[in-house]
Amino acid sequence: MRIHVVMMAAAGLGLSAMPALAQATLKDAFKNRLLVGVAVRPHQFTGANATQAALIANQFNSITPENVMKWDALQPRENEFHFEQADRYVDFGTRNGMFTIGHTLVWHSQVPGWLFKDAAGNPVDRETLLARMKKHIQTVVGRYKGRVKGWDVVNEALEEDGTLRQSPWLKIIGEDYLAKAFQFAHEADPAAQLYYNDYGIEGGKKRDGAIALLKKLKAAGVPVTGVGIQDHVSLTWPPATMLDETITAFGQAGLKVMITELDVDVLPARGHNTSADVSRNEAADPALNPYTNGLPANVQEALARRYAELFAVYLKHPGVVTRVTLWGLCDGESWLNDWPIRGRTSHPLLFDRACKPKPAFQALVAPRR
């Protein structure tokens, strides 16, 4: 990676004149600076789509599973673990020498109905839920000890105002459920990196809440390696200065920073909302889906400048920002096609619907000229 090229791109200089870089790779462009990862789906890591599998192996040196390691996929019924897909995911990462991530151990969403209830359908007590958490975490982390290098241990535990989310985990166990989750994961694999992961923590009260929470956990000796800033962003939010300040603040708190779910939404929205809560569901409106026939050249250029701007910020923090993961490989498979409005045609990633590199990709891998 040549930082001056990124800064040129961020300033809007000559993206259309950049050469087609068919042989350039993201992992080589950022070698010795950042791991560059991608969220993957079963048809990619099983080889069902050999073209996409080859593209992932060629371009990236880290992977994260979109869904196959979430609780409802791994343990849909109590004490009944389904590891086939997760095993194949980890095998893919191992074969290709990738830094393999586990996502995610404790979350309020995508959990099976039995988790928080007893046989009569009533909420379980603290001791029962702690035992279930411990068994799940230690079974899963223990199975992949030494192969999965980092875990999103707790996901999205904060409300928009920076207070703890009123999830069943908090209501049944109490605030120490976070510390317990990290403890159980560390016991299962003491060498694994352990992360807290969240959206919307690039600024404001939620960022302040995340910093306070993580400082408190670290002061108590909880083995937190770092924080995952999801970075589901738009063309204008967060401003580069805000993101820079946030990474600085987390670094000063003694935390590594991972950009864990990066995508850039180019579609118009109803007002300003930084929430990436999966439960959001808005009504369709053709005015909010303007690029059904492809992305216009001026928007392609804006997207390229935005990606260049973001990576320029990440590179300002060597040793703090250690990994950037794109949340999806190609535009056609992005979750933003169905969130927060179903059926839209979204264009948030580095590869288009045919999995061909976009100008944004070229802005990141362009060599020194």
Asked about 159 being catalytic, the answer comes back as no
Q: What is the pLDDT of residue 280?
A: 67
Yes or no: say if 338 and 329 are a contact pair by the CB < 8 Å rule: no
In this structure, is residue 201 part of a structural domain? yes
- Tokens 């068994």 belong to 135
Residues 287 and 265: their CA atoms lie apart, in Å, by: 15
What are the phi and psi torsion angles at 228 (to 5°)?
-95, 115
In this structure, is residue 285 part of a structural domain? no
Task: Tell me how far CA of residue 314 lies from CA of 3, 31, 347, in angstroms.
Answer: 11, 14, 22
Compare 362 and 15 and report the one with higher pLDDT. 362
pLDDT category of residue 109 using cuts at 50, 70 and 90: very high
Closest to 56 measured CA to CA, from 190, 64, 213: 64
Residues 5 and 342: their CA atoms lie apart, in Å, by: 37
In this structure, is residue 279 part of a structural domain? no
Q: In whole angstroms, what separates CA 125 from the centre of its chain?
A: 32
pLDDT at 3 over 70: no
Q: Tell me: the pLDDT tens digits for 165-174? A: 999 999 999 9
Maximum Cα–Cα distance across the chain: 69
Number of domains in the chain: 1
Asked about 261 being catalytic, the answer comes back as yes
Residues 186 and 216: their CA atoms lie apart, in Å, by: 18
Domain, as residue range, for 357:
3-268+300-365
Annotated catalytic residue: which of 261, 301, 309, 333? Answer: 261
Q: Which two tokens stand for residue 4?
A: 């001056």
The CATH number linked to 7 is: 3.20.20.80
Q: Tell me: the pLDDT tens digits for 4-45? A: 444 444 433 333 333 333 469 999 999 999 999 999 999 999
In this structure, is residue 282 part of a structural domain? no
In this structure, is residue 40 part of a structural domain? yes
Annotated catalytic residue: which of 156, 202, 301, 333? Answer: 156
In this structure, is residue 281 part of a structural domain? no
pTM: 0.91
In this structure, is residue 100 part of a structural domain? yes
* β-sheet bridge partners, residue 101: 150
In this structure, is residue 288 part of a structural domain? no
Q: Tell me: the pLDDT tens digits for 239-255? A: 999 999 999 999 999 99
